[in-house]
Amino acid sequence: MSAIKNISLYIPLVFPNFNKEYVARAFNNIGEVSQIDFVAKQDRNGNNFNAVYVHFNKWYTNQEATAFYDSVIDETKQAQLNHDNKWYWIVLPNTAKKYVPGERKQRLDLGEISTSNIAPTLFATPVKASATKQVCPGAPMKRSYTEMQAAFEDEMDVEAEMDEIEEMIDAEDEMDEIEEMIDAEDETIDAEDETLVRIDGRYVKAIEEENWSMRAEIAHLRGALINLGHLYQVETAKVTAFSGVYA
């Protein structure tokens, strides 16, 4: 027996005539249901059905819930939840990746890099020392107004380039988010398709058996009606005969 964790469940196929309240009631002995999510689907023949996700506030620890939980997490078994005398759902653990809106990858924030920390001399043409004057080592070199203006313009160009780079990074992050959403949806669809291929035959077989049973009952009723018709004719003939005798 495994320790029960508050996992959510995935039901690959639920007929559209069952609503969320019905599904929630089916899990009354398993746990306290917090949310039911329906995802509308269509099979290859165009028939509508729902894929259902069941979320719990908590799982119960009774014998039925514990046995059901063990069958769900055991990959060698197939968990089934009987929601009617004849019908059941195949139940799997919900392994779909949950997409969190706004979640982004870590990146370098270029806004933390200020151009004021960049030495102006990186953008200006160095001033050569005069041939008749000695320049003290380490002393700042004087620059003309034109050189200072050019350095300022270079700094502005760097800021503009940084803005463009940041916009490109934002656009790339948005594309990453979209790709992650698509990948998560593809994984969910692949898992659902694989499960449907495995269980579709069982549902079809169950429906066919139910149809044959109903046909047999209809044939039996027809036979009974025919017998009643014959009995009615016999009794009518008797009544007619007796009426002629006592007339």
Give me the sign of the Cα torsion angle 223, 224, 226, 231. positive
More confident residue, 74 or 196: 74
Query: How far is residue 7's CA from residue 33's CA, in Å, rounded to a whole number?
Result: 11
- Whether the per-residue pLDDT at 234 is higher than 50: the answer is yes
Q: What strands lie across the sheet with 48-59, from one edge to the other?
A: 31-42, 48-59, 9-14, 88-93, 79-82
How does residue 244 score in pLDDT terms, banded at 50, 70 and 90?
low
Chain Cα centroid distance, residue 43: 17
Q: What is the pLDDT of residue 28?
A: 94
DSSP three-state, residue 113: coil
- Whether the per-residue pLDDT at 72 is higher than 90: the answer is yes
- Whether the per-residue pLDDT at 221 is higher than 60: the answer is yes
- Whether the per-residue pLDDT at 227 is higher than 90: the answer is no
More confident residue, 140 or 24: 24
- What is the mean pLDDT of the segment spanning 119-140? 49
Q: Encode pLDDT of 153-183 as tens digits.
A: 665 666 666 777 777 777 777 777 777 777 7
Burial class (CB in 10 A: 0-12, 13-18, 19+), 75: exposed
Ordered domains of the chain (ranges, CATH):
9-93 (3.30.70)
Question: Are the CB atoms for 125 and 151 separated by under 8 Å?
Answer: no
- What is the mean pLDDT of the segment spanning 58-87? 92
Model pTM score: 0.44
- Whether the per-residue pLDDT at 100 is higher than 60: the answer is no
Q: What is the pLDDT of residue 32?
A: 96
For the record, the structure tokens of 66 come out as 């514990």
Encode 62-79 in three state secondary structure: CHHHHHHHHHHHCCCCCE
Instruction: Characterize the bridge pairing of strands 9-14 and 79-82.
Output: unpaired
For the chain, give the number of residues: 247
Lowest mean pLDDT across 47-56, 103-112, 224-233: 103-112
More confident residue, 53 or 219: 53
- Whether the per-residue pLDDT at 136 is higher than 80: the answer is no
Mean pLDDT for all residues in the chain: 75
